[in-house]
Chain A
Amino acid sequence: MTQRSDAAAFGRFAVGLGAFRLEFCFSVAAGDVLVLFGPSGAGKTTALRAIAGLARPDHGHIAIAGRTVFAANNGAEPAEIWVPPHRRGVGYVTQQNHLFPHLTVLRNIAYGLRDRRGALARRRVAELIDRLRLNGLEERRVWQLSGGQQQRTALARAMAPSPDLLLLDEPFAALDLELRRELGAELRATARQLDVPVILVTHSREEALALGDAVQIIDAGRTVALGPPLTTLEQPGRGRVARLVGVENLLEMRVAARLPQDGTMVCDAGEHSLETPLADGCAVGDAVTVGVRASDIILASGPLPQSSARNTWAGAVSAVTPRPPGYEVALDCGGIVLRCHITGASLESMSIAPGMPLWAIFKASSCFLLSE
């Protein structure tokens, strides 16, 4: 975790809240979205609050747009540098959006502007209303808005004073999937266009993949992984991280054979065996955990006569559960249950139902090793 000197916002600090302790280090460039990902109670919100100045770290430093807004040595009290929240130039959008109930949409957006009735302010508000498609709602009361409109208003309000850093705490959590995607795309475009760095907290893998330039995975107050979204979320290297990002199938196996000429190796568990990419540093007989993403598994009504996929397991459907936008099929392959994600159309055309025999097919390269 290095701090880039061109980062628009960076810092390293520790916050203690009773028994909970967060050690946090971050760095985000202008126009980039840094996603904080992790389970509830991991410390994501606390990190945002400390950056915004709403929680006070014990020690560390935080810099935003080239200005140190917090700096303190270990245990030194009071903080050597402490910029109060209203002078940090940080936009903060909460999950509940906290729109001001006594003001209209227009006046909510204009709230943080100096000289709110001036021509400059009016132009800025009009621009944001256009950008976030709030036209026609200017004089509405905030409780007359739909969830998506409320969240867009909150975004517009946070962006109006041209913050040097935008902090978004699960801003789309209350919205339905479609709206979520739509707003996410808008956010992405807006951040790029305005060249503002964004830190986004989310629980959703899809959101992290779609919006993040980097993903930082936090667990129990510590950063456990940091990197590009695809590598961090799709091929997590460590067991704990894999569980956090929700790799659906984790198989405890043993290395049975190494096939360097194919770049693969064979792992087995009881009578099950599968091929994975060849990994350095593990010998025949070593215990390994193999991860397979549910969306990387193909379900077929029979074994494919000829295919490039190296792994084919037979099993019977033990459960079908809706998992919007598709379904999750649990396939019992004689002791090991594989979870597979398919679309509603596939479910229907194959008329998949519990008890039905099916074959799970997945490539060796879809398997990855998790070293605990």
Chain B
Amino acid sequence: MVVRFRRRARNEGRPTETALGALAPAGMVATVIYVLFIGLPVAALLVRAGQQDGFLAGLSGDLVLQALRLTVVTSVISLAIVVLVGTPFALLLARRKSPALRVIDTFVELPIVLPPVVAGVAMLMAFGRNGLLGPALSGVGITLPFTTAAVIFAQIFVAAPFYIRAARIGFAAVDPAYEEVSQTLGVSPWATFRRLTLPVAWPSLLTGLTLAWARAVSEFGATIMFAGNLTGRTQTMPLAIMTAMESSLGAALALAVLLLAMSALALAALSALLRRPGAPA
């Protein structure tokens, strides 16, 4: 997590590199191997996409455009809900200490380690037609599985922990003593949150938001179990790629390049925002 406001040590000089000295050659080899390992497939994807017939047609094809629109819309809605619910939740986790909250705190991170397919099955068991809440939901005319809403459910389930965890760490790093001083300066608790807590925790929140969004966009397993793979309704980009691989490699490559571009853009935007001195106050 990014901790930006640490006080800089003055005149401590450059650290000695004793440990690194011994391992430097191994480090360099490892670096080369790692860069190739990640870089080669990415480069291959781009090269292959450039050569592929029907790549440009694929980019503007119905399958791609529908999947793109659905992915953007659902991930933005998911993220909005995650922020709305996750922010006060994370603040509570960061500030209150109680046995119950400690248990919940551990529980929050469960979806990070849970295989998404299991999450999908679990959601079917809860909200499906024959699930725990199924009868009650259909009683009021609500069907969740295999709808766009189910896509959003799946995304929130897997993505929320990334934001909540980062936000909790960010809020925990703001000593409540600062908030007390802020209040003695005539600033109300709510304004203190807006003018002090939020800006100081901002780098963490932003990092969490980016990770959560990336996770929501790439969501596959839970979605296909709980929401299915219906073009235009539940077929997000990862699902569309899998479908297209069977019929049109051009469309699949177009989707893959698009997702790659979106991810790279998000990463670049994040680091640009974090480098900016002074967050919004």
- A contact residues around B202 at 8 Å (CB): 102
- Stretch from B121-129, B176-184, B223-231 at the A interface: B176-184
The digit string for A158-186, where 1 denotes a CB below 8 A from any CB of B, is: 10110000010000000000000000000
- Stretch from A84-92, A209-217, A275-283, A289-297 at the B interface: A84-92
Asked if B186 is at the interface of the complex by the 8 Å CB criterion, the answer is yes
Contact, CB under 8 Å: A98 / B181: yes
Complex CA gap A35/B278 in Å reads 38
Instruction: Report whether over half of chain A's contact residues are helix, strand or loop; otherwise say mixed.
Output: loop
Q: Whose C-beta in chain A lies nearest to the C-beta of B198?
A: A102
Contact, CB under 8 Å: B7 / A143: yes
Asked if B37 is at the interface of the complex by the 8 Å CB criterion, the answer is no
Contact, CB under 8 Å: B279 / A158: no
Please report the total number of A residues contacting B with Cβ < 8 Å: 30
Which residues 245-281 of B sit at the A interface, judged by CB distance below 8 A? 278-279, 281
Asked if A54 is at the interface of the complex by the 8 Å CB criterion, the answer is yes
Contact, CB under 8 Å: A112 / B279: no
Contact, CB under 8 Å: A111 / B183: no
Complex CA gap A53/B185 in Å reads 12
Contact, CB under 8 Å: A98 / B177: yes
Q: Whose C-beta in chain A lies nearest to the C-beta of B174?
A: A101
A92 with B181, Cβ < 8 A, contacts A98-B175, A100-B196 known: yes
Contact, CB under 8 Å: B200 / A102: yes
Contact, CB under 8 Å: B278 / A102: yes
Asked if A194 is at the interface of the complex by the 8 Å CB criterion, the answer is no
Complex CA gap A100/B185 in Å reads 12
Nearest-neighbour CB distance to chain B for A179, whole angstroms, equals: 17
Contact, CB under 8 Å: A103 / B184: no
Contact, CB under 8 Å: B5 / A102: yes
- A contact residues around B182 at 8 Å (CB): 100, 111
Complex CA gap A91/B175 in Å reads 19
- A contact residues around B189 at 8 Å (CB): 84, 86
Q: Whose C-beta in chain B lies nearest to the C-beta of A54?
A: B180
Which residues 192-213 of A sit at the B interface, judged by CB distance below 8 A? none
Complex CA gap A27/B89 in Å reads 43
- B contact residues around A161 at 8 Å (CB): 185-186
Contact, CB under 8 Å: B8 / A112: no
Asked if B54 is at the interface of the complex by the 8 Å CB criterion, the answer is no
Of the candidates B180, B186, B200, the one whose C-beta lies within 8 Å of that of A112 is B186
Contact, CB under 8 Å: A102 / B184: no
- A contact residues around B186 at 8 Å (CB): 86-87, 89, 112, 114, 161
A85 with B5, Cβ < 8 A, contacts A96-B177, A98-B178, A102-B199 known: no
Nearest-neighbour CB distance to chain B for A138, whole angstroms, equals: 14
9 tightest A-B CB contacts, nearest first: A112-B185, A101-B5, A92-B184, A85-B183, A143-B7, A86-B183, A98-B181, A102-B199, A112-B186
Q: Footprint of B on A, CB under 8 Å?
A: 52-54, 84-92, 94, 96, 98, 100-104, 107, 111-112, 114, 143, 157-158, 160-161, 167
New A-B contacts (4) at CB < 8 Å, excluding given A92-B180, A94-B177, A102-B202: A52-B180, A86-B185, A111-B185, A114-B186
Q: Footprint of A on B, CB under 8 Å?
A: 5, 7-8, 175, 177-178, 180-189, 192, 195-196, 199-200, 202, 278-279, 281
Ordered by A's residue number, 21 sampled pairs between the chains whose C-beta atoms are within 8 Å are A52-B180, A54-B184, A84-B183, A84-B188, A85-B183, A85-B184, A86-B184, A86-B189, A87-B186, A100-B182, A102-B5, A102-B196, A103-B281, A111-B182, A111-B195, A112-B186, A143-B5, A143-B7, A158-B184, A158-B185, A161-B185
